[in-house]
Chain A
Amino acid sequence: MIAHANKPKTFYVKILRQDGPGKPSYWQRFELDYEPELNVISVLQKIAAKAKTSSGQKTTPVCWDCGCLEEVCGACTMIINGRVRQSCSALVDKLLEDGLEIELRPMTKFPVVRDLFVDRSRMFTALKKIKGWIPADGYYDLGPGPKQSRYDQEVAYPLSECMTCGCCVEACPQYGKIELTQRSGESDEAFEDRKTDAYTSGFVGPAAISQVVLFNLHPTGKMIARDRLDVMAQEGGIQICGNAQNCVAVCPKKIPLTMSIGKIGRQTTFNTLRRWFDRGAKAH
């Protein structure tokens, strides 16, 4: 419902394509008829149905990742006109306010699978590393969970909305791309293990740090809070954060990431000191 005084007849979409991992990337341009209330997803759907570039050359449909189209699943993140965001909530009318061409590229911090589709499994590995779960005794009926104040719920809730979309790490200057290729003769399992090692030694990134805050807030989650803080003190932990604050600026869910980072920074320091004193006490 965004007013558009001069509706164009057609508009252009420029897409950075790549046929597979390790392949060279190239630009392709598509021309589309203007319709009101389009978003980037419907643009990509139209391109798939058309399968022709703006110069009339036959091409393959553009590969991209999407799921819910309601900005909750986190699948369709890409770089649109230079800004990382979800393509479902990127409305064409708004994008065209900047000019008649929309530019789409894949995220730069993850290995490209194909075209705009990237592999974000490193983010899920980070959730394993930080023990991002409640250490419940089991799933038998043991009555209700611990009582929690409305205040605590209201602090935790925004953190629990993180959809692991990757915007924060894309914007983070400290989060570098890790891309490995399977060696000849290397088994799938060995390759997976090597990836996991590389991913766990790389920076965990703001999303995972914020999840540490979430789980350490919960009365049961708290019970292994110190384990999580230990992880934060290890390689790839909190110390890598350069406090650029880019993460919080791009988070589509407005998660207070820098607040989480600040909190974990302080707690990790205290935890390390405490561990050190504990060790000292034991020695005597």
Chain B
Amino acid sequence: MAEKRVLVVGGGLAGLAATMKLAELGIKVDLMSLTPVKRSHSVCAQGGINSVNDATRQLGDDEYKHFDDTVYGGDFLNHQPPVYEMAMWAPKVIDLMDRLGVTFNRTQEGFLDRRRFGGTLYKRTAFAGATTGQQLLYALDEQVRRWEVEGMVKKYEMWDFLGPVLNENGVCVGATAQDLYSMEIRSFPADAVVVASGGCGLIYGRSTMSMTCNGSAASRCVQAGAKYGNGEFIQVHPTAIPGADKLRLMSESARGEGGRVWVPKTPHDTRSPKDIPEGERYYFLEERYPEYGNLVPRDIATREIFDVCVNDGLSVEKDRQCVYLDLTHIEASELNRKLGGILDIYRKFQGVDPCYTPMRIFPAVHYSMGGLWTNYAKKESGGLVAGSPTNQATNIPNLYAIGEVDYHYHGANRLGANSLLSCIFSGLFVAPGLETLLSNMKPGSTAADQPKSLYEDSVKQHQGRHDALLKQSGDENPYLIHQELGNVMTAAATVVRVNSQLEEAIGKLADLKQRAWKCALSDTGNWSNQNVLFTKALQDMFPIAEAILKGALARDECRGAHYKPEFELPGLTSTDPAEHRRQAEEWCDKFEANIDKFLKSSIATYDGNDVNITYEEVDTSIEPPRPRLYGLVGAEEISIVWKERKAKKKAAAQEAAATN
């Protein structure tokens, strides 16, 4: 019997974690990536990785609170069993990475040092300077290289995944891919394919993501019939350095280490920030959110920065929107020890030292919470069934998704320092499930049992598309269409979303899509033709872009990273206690009605032409949803009313149970 193999597409944290764990389980892996895996986008993650730890436990923290912060931060749009499992595993994940040699910062005594991140009140985040993602990725890359030497892993770096190969029963039995150098297209028979291709930021033109994060792998799975979940939830990171080619991330750890966000009270104050006295500065996050201050969750910080710049007209610069992120009150040596990596980026790209001059920053598209829909096997006690092949499985049998391209874990908004965790966790967790899948495969269903013609046909089909593109005549330039697409998406579907604008954007998208299929290539050669690869990726951006826009249009509410002012539930206005109370009751009524209507995951499917959106119930069986009340006027009263209602419901349920 032929040896069973798994193909992993993408060599970031998730793909590498899965590869290394599969190899440990004795399963051979083909690891495919657009780039040498050591250069995957996970290198850019800066701030850290979350877990409960011995110190926070003594302050009252536990795994459940980490789980709760994650689902509350995600505005309850997360299926709770996977998140619960992840939070339970978090300390183990960090221990493992520590054992693998990650150069985590240390305390004086030699323990792992921790910092605080937004959306939590505990110091849970382990970090390696301000290049935590790089250090974690390298540790996994090293382990995978070790397995490569052992002969358990075969790397296919510089290969572009063109799509899964499905047999006549619709089961995934491999994939077809193209060599970026020779342009050779070939098939890779595999008993399971794991997609770990990351986010889709390039759909927005400029983002904090790498140039490889174009969403094409996800789109190619969607075009083959995979479902895409929660596409409309794209996190916009509050603090990035605006640039002509890309937007560079300034990690949340800058706020975690005490960074203060402010603007001058005088619009476009021309004085140097150091010359503006304290009294003439507006520390808007600290004033509006006294409890969390500068560490409000990302969606709140992002929206407030927009609000201050757009609505209050208080941008630091006149022609370009930005606010100050100020670290200058902290000792430079301390900053360099804990944030060196990101401060270097600012110095290098802006030519200014943030130790002495406040940084100018603005929000940027940062993380795709949505992605390929995946399943999970739920355990009665709350978490997941370890070793179940259902975990991380897409709706296409034997096709799996992990990491950022999987729609789980973050809900409507990602908690800072949870992405690295979810990637490594889902990578490690998928492996035992695949082991079960592979060992239970019936004769006739393995990749080796498939007819050769299946793979040959797939190659032929993709070769056809490639050749047609090379020959195509037209007057459109793919790079310019990409710019236009980015502009449409950025204007309509970032922080604030308005239905009329979304409708207009969907129309523009349809035009651009038509034009993208009329591109003429300036390079028609057949060696390292980046032009044709880019054009294919561009064409494949449209189904995902459409899923984002249509999902956003259909969702008439504000949830996490998705904010529609027309459907906001405003705070309480009355100061009269009785009226105040009545308003709170009314607020809770409306909130409940909204939960019934919109606490659902959007599921996008592609019918060959258009994207259609349906909905799926969210599993909130562990922690019932509650209003997310950061900074809302009357939050306390609403919270009291909500708790009373919850208690009443519980009592009624108990009574009903007792009488039965």
Which residues does A use to contact B, with CB under 8 Å?
Answer: 1-2, 19-20, 35, 37-39, 41-42, 45, 48-49, 51, 58-61, 63, 66-75, 88-89, 91, 113-114, 117, 119-121, 124, 127-128, 131-136, 138-139, 141-145, 147-150, 152-154, 156-157, 160-161, 163-164, 215, 218, 220-221
B423 to chain A, nearest CB (A): 15
| Residue interface mask B490-529, A partner, CB < 8 A = 1 | 0000000000000000000000000000000011010110
Q: Which among A58, A161, A215, A220 has the greatest number of chain B C-beta atoms within 10 A? A: A161
Return 21 A-B CB contacts under 8 Å, by A number: A2-B351, A19-B525, A37-B243, A60-B525, A67-B35, A69-B211, A70-B249, A71-B348, A89-B349, A91-B349, A133-B143, A134-B142, A145-B101, A150-B106, A150-B110, A153-B103, A157-B103, A160-B128, A164-B36, A164-B38, A220-B99
| Residue interface mask B192-219, A partner, CB < 8 A = 1 | 0000000000000000001110000000
**Which chain A residue shows the least CB distance to B37?**
A124
**Which chain B residue shows the least CB distance to A112?**
B528
**Within the complex, which residue of B129, B139, B479 is in contact with A157, where a contact is CB–CB below 8 Å?**
B129
**Which chain B residue shows the least CB distance to A219?**
B101
Check if A160 sits within 8 Å of B39, measured CB to CB: no
Bound Cα distance from A113 to B181, whole angstroms:
7
Check if B245 sits within 8 Å of A42, measured CB to CB: yes
| Residue interface mask B86-103, A partner, CB < 8 A = 1 | 000000100110111101
**Within the complex, which residue of B128, B146, B477 is in contact with A133, where a contact is CB–CB below 8 Å?**
B146
Bound Cα distance from A203 to B542, whole angstroms:
47
**Which chain A residue shows the least CB distance to B133?**
A72
**Which chain A residue shows the least CB distance to B53?**
A144
Known A-B contacts A39-B244, A70-B249, A70-B345; A124 and B103 likewise in contact (beta carbons under 8 Å): no
Check if B134 sits within 8 Å of A72, measured CB to CB: yes
Check if B210 sits within 8 Å of A157, measured CB to CB: no
Closest 10 CB pairs of A and B: A145-B98, A133-B142, A60-B523, A51-B522, A42-B245, A49-B479, A145-B99, A134-B101, A114-B528, A147-B110
In the complex, chain B residues whose CB is within 8 Å of the CB of A157: 103, 105, 128-129
Bound Cα distance from A2 to B351, whole angstroms:
7
Check if A1 sits within 8 Å of B479, measured CB to CB: no
| Residue interface mask B319-358, A partner, CB < 8 A = 1 | 0000000000000000001000100110011111000000
**Which chain A residue shows the least CB distance to B99?**
A145
Q: Is B20 an interface residue (CB 8 A)?
A: yes
Check if B41 sits within 8 Å of A67, measured CB to CB: yes
**Which chain A residue shows the least CB distance to B528?**
A114
Bound Cα distance from A128 to B528, whole angstroms:
27
In the complex, chain B residues whose CB is within 8 Å of the CB of A141: 92, 95-96
**Within the complex, which residue of B38, B98, B148 is in contact with A144, where a contact is CB–CB below 8 Å?**
B98
In the complex, chain A residues whose CB is within 8 Å of the CB of B212: 67
**Within the complex, which residue of A41, A72, A124 is in contact with B44, where a contact is CB–CB below 8 Å?**
A72
In the complex, chain B residues whose CB is within 8 Å of the CB of A72: 43-44, 131, 134, 341
In the complex, chain B residues whose CB is within 8 Å of the CB of A73: 35, 39-41, 43-44, 210
Bound Cα distance from A28 to B265, whole angstroms:
51
Known A-B contacts A68-B43, A72-B44; A63 and B530 likewise in contact (beta carbons under 8 Å): yes
In the complex, chain B residues whose CB is within 8 Å of the CB of A128: 145, 148-149
In the complex, chain A residues whose CB is within 8 Å of the CB of B131: 72, 161
In the complex, chain B residues whose CB is within 8 Å of the CB of A89: 348-349
In the complex, chain B residues whose CB is within 8 Å of the CB of A91: 349, 351
Bound Cα distance from A135 to B398, whole angstroms:
32
| Residue interface mask B133-145, A partner, CB < 8 A = 1 | 0110011001101
B482 to chain A, nearest CB (A): 9
Bound Cα distance from A75 to B34, whole angstroms:
12
